[in-house]
Structure 1
Amino acid sequence: MVRKFQDKEDTLKGDLLRRISVSLVGIPIMVLVIYVGGWLLGAFMALVAALAAYEYFLLRKNTTKGLSGLGVTLSAALPLIAMLYPTYNEFVQLGFGLVLFGSVTSLIMVMWRRWPEGSPIESAAVTMMGVLYTGGTLSFWVFLRALPEEAMVADSALAGTALLLFPIWVTWVGDCFAYVLGSRWGKKKLIVTVSPNKTVVGAVGGVAGSVLGGLAYNHCLLGEMAEISLSGEMVVLVSILIAVVGQLGDLSESVMKRQGGVKDSSNLIPGHGGVLDRMDSLFFTVPTTYFILLHLFYG
């Protein structure tokens, strides 16, 4: 029993060291890209969207297959379109047109290439789901970064960076709390059929960590950098919402991985798995934060 506990401790420490090492390199690069903004951010998000979409279609290879080439291309295109139209109302018109075009195109291509075995309607749905799940949600990084510029904040670059880093920080702190507390003390499983390693203790700890992270960020950075200071009650509410939708995003990706019969979406990022494994929560939390802050800015 002692040996088994020690092995678990060593594994936990090894995983944390790998995660920290990658984070020490990746986080400064990500912050710099966000601060510079513009087409650098658009190109970066297009690359991330393309990699995420590629992994998404890999997960679907044993089930209903979509059109990976079309899906990856459209997914990468959406953040670039968001750079041209960095407000949601402007983007949604062209973005909807692109999604409609992709839906019709994928339906025609599947009927042409795979009929009658190709399940054209299902394949088209899988393709466009991948586009919206990756490129569609990642476009909100561009929207959130541009929000202070729309609101005429003086230093919009600094303010936009602070706003975009807020859900990323809250999500990351919540993930760390969930991982450590769940690994050490978690016994009762959350949803064993979806993710056998996630526990109730981890889920509750993740929410608590997100709240603490949100309060600390609001107190130390948000008011100074973004010229917006939320009340303590609002921060708690927003942080809880971020934590909940983030865990839903995590569980959603777990369902896809179980359908695909894999543990990680890929091994692209040492200690972290693939792009989907790192972005699963952020696919949900960044858009959620954008709509909340949009309401606060414009009422």
Structure 2
Amino acid sequence: MLTRIITGVVGIALAAFVIQTGGTLFAAFALVLSLLAWFEYVRAFAHLGHNLTFVLGLVFLVLLWGCAWLGSAEETMAVTTAGVLLMLLVSVLLHGRVTFQAASLSVAGVLYFGLPFAHMVLLRAADGPVLSTPIGPFEFGCAMIWVMFIGTWASDTFAYFVGSAIGSHKLCPSISPNKTIEGFGGSLVGTTAAVAALGWFFGFPVPEMAGLGLALSIFATLGDLVESVAKRETGIKDSGNIIPGHGGVWDRFDSVLFTAPIVYYFAILVLANQ
């Protein structure tokens, strides 16, 4: 437990520095995290004997990241289309070594990690007014990244503590035995309140932010369950051990993979029109 706490404190401090700095540093961290998560994913499915297209996946992830950091929507579409078709074509070019199932799992994994982390890069760089807060000014993109992370962390935290305290009805026992309906209810209420409070803090419309909080709670839970399904199928307990006491990158960012796109489109479609 001590290791978990120390790692958590160091991780939060590092995350705060990277988020506040933004720019190339934030984009570089997003790329590294996506590559590490891809490595864990490939290793997990290797337990089932699947030979995923590891190197091609790395290239695809870098290109998706580059489109988010330096490119455009058209370039992103081109890279995505070319990458998907090429990774599936590997099952023909390397027939007997890479099965169609392995190629399909490769496509799913690269899109699963590449697109959400690309959305994080886009979100941090999002244009908007400088926001005046009680502790000083925040760039719009920086504020939205904090909304994404705090909202996701709030969902996990409220679900854990409420579930531990009063949870008795299993939410998805065949997928994640520890999740309870009561914990999910606590997540819904707590995350909605937390994101609404962030709305007040940053000067965003509170009712809309409360709605975002509700959505983040739902999608953070779904993101966690998706990884739980994958881990059950591959027979692993944790995706890795790169983060002492917390497992791997995939373990720590499974919920964020689902919440990052939600916050990005909320920012550009809802807040940008206020």
Which TM-score applies when normalising by structure 2?
Answer: 0.90
**SS of residue paired to 2:139:** helix
Return the match for 1:178 from 148, 153, 159.
159
Corresponding pairs, count: 267
Amino acid at match of 1:132: L
The residue number in structure 1 matching 2:91 is 110
- TM superposition outliers: structure 1 runs of 4+ over 4 Å: 154-157
* Counterpart residue number, 1:78: 64
Give the CA RMSD over aligned residues: 2.0
Within the alignment, does 1:235 sit opposite 2:209 as a pair? yes
Choose between structure 1 and 2: higher helix proportion: 1
Structure 2 match to 1:30: 15
Gaps of 5+ in 2: 132-136
* Partner of residue 119 from structure 2, selected from 127, 137, 140: 140
Q: 1:248 offset after TM fit, Å?
A: 0.5
User: Contact 1:268–1:274 at 8 Å: present in 2 too?
Assistant: yes
Residues 37, 157 of structure 1: 8 Å contact kept = no
The whole-number CA distance in structure 2 between the counterparts of 1:169 and 1:118 is 40
Would you say the 8 A contact 1:103–1:124 is kept in 2?
A: no
Query: Structure 2 CA distance, aligned partners of 1:102 and 1:208?
Result: 40
Q: Matches of 2:4 and 2:18 in 1, distance apart?
A: 20
Cα distance change on mapping 1:108 and 1:185 into 2, 3 Å: same
- 3-state SS of 1:267 partner: coil
Q: 1:248 aligns with which of 222, 236, 247?
A: 222
User: In the alignment, residue 59 of structure 2 is paired with which amino acid?
Assistant: T
Q: Give, in whole Å, the separation in 2 of the partners of 1:268 and 1:243.
A: 26
| SS of residue matched to 1:114 | coil
2:99 aligned residue = 119
- The answer to whether the aligner puts 1:194 opposite 2:194 as a matched pair is no
Report the alpha carbon displacement of residue 68 of structure 1 after superposing the two structures with TM: 1.7
| 1:279 has 2:253 as partner | yes
The answer to whether 1:167 aligns with 2:142 is: no
Percent of residue pairs bearing the same amino acid type: 32
Find out whether 1:41 has 2:21 as its counterpart: no
Q: Which moved more, 1:236-245 or 1:61-70?
A: 61-70
Taking the TM superposition and a 5 Å limit, the aligned residue runs for 1:36-75 are 36-61=21-46, 62=48, 64-75=50-61
1:154 CA drift (Å): 4.2
1:65·1:126 contact (CA, 8 Å) conserved in 2? no
How much does 1:64 deviate?
Answer: 4.3
The answer to whether residue 247 in structure 2 is matched with residue 267 in structure 1 is no
Helix, strand or coil: the match of 1:269? Answer: coil
TM-score, normalised on structure 1? Answer: 0.83
* Aligned mates of 1:102, 1:125 — CA distance in 2: 12
3-state SS in 2 of match to 1:104 = helix
Q: Deviations over 1:25-45 (max 9, x none)?
A: 112222222222222111111
**Structure 1 gap ranges (5+):** 1-13, 224-228
Please tell me the residue identity of whatever aligns with 2:99: S
